[in-house]
């Protein structure tokens, strides 16, 4: 029996889809910085890895797809407002 992935689906590799994907990751309490390896992310409360091996593979694939199609700087740019909101900083439009 396969456990269902907690990783949101990436609809396509546009900037808007990346922004939505990072937002969905935050909503699921799974957000991490895209420059970090998902295998290294731990849950502070219990010290356990946040992502399963299959989720790590899925995340690496999705981030590679975004990097290839958008470019690294645009991936970071898409993640930025989601991180700022998660930290309580609201950006002006």
Query: The tokens of 28 are what?
Result: 């699921």
| Both structure tokens of 23 | 């937002």
Percent helix, strand, coil in the chain, to 5, is 55, 0, 45
Mean pLDDT per 10-residue section of the chain, whose length is 93 residues: 84 97 96 97 95 97 98 97 85 61
Is 63:56 a contact under the CB 8 Å cutoff? Answer: no
Q: Is the pTM of this model over 0.85?
A: yes
Angle CA 35–12–63, to nearest 5: 15
> How far is the C-alpha of 36 from the C-alpha of 42, rounded, in Å?
11
Q: What was the pLDDT predicted at 72?
A: 97
Q: Express each pLDDT in 5-17 by its tens digit.
A: 899 999 999 999 9
């Amino acid at each position: 029996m396969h456990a269902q992935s907690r990783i949101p689906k990436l609809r396509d590799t546009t900037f808007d889809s990346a922004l939505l994907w990072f937002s969905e990751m935050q909503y699921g309490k799974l957000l991490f910085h895209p420059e970090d390896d998902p295998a290294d992310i731990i849950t502070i409360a219990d010290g356990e890895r946040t992502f399963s091996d299959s989720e790590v593979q899925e995340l690496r694939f999705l981030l590679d797809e975004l990097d290839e199609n958008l470019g690294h700087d645009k991936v970071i740019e898409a993640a930025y407002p989601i991180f700022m909101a998660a930290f309580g900083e609201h950006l002006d439009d």
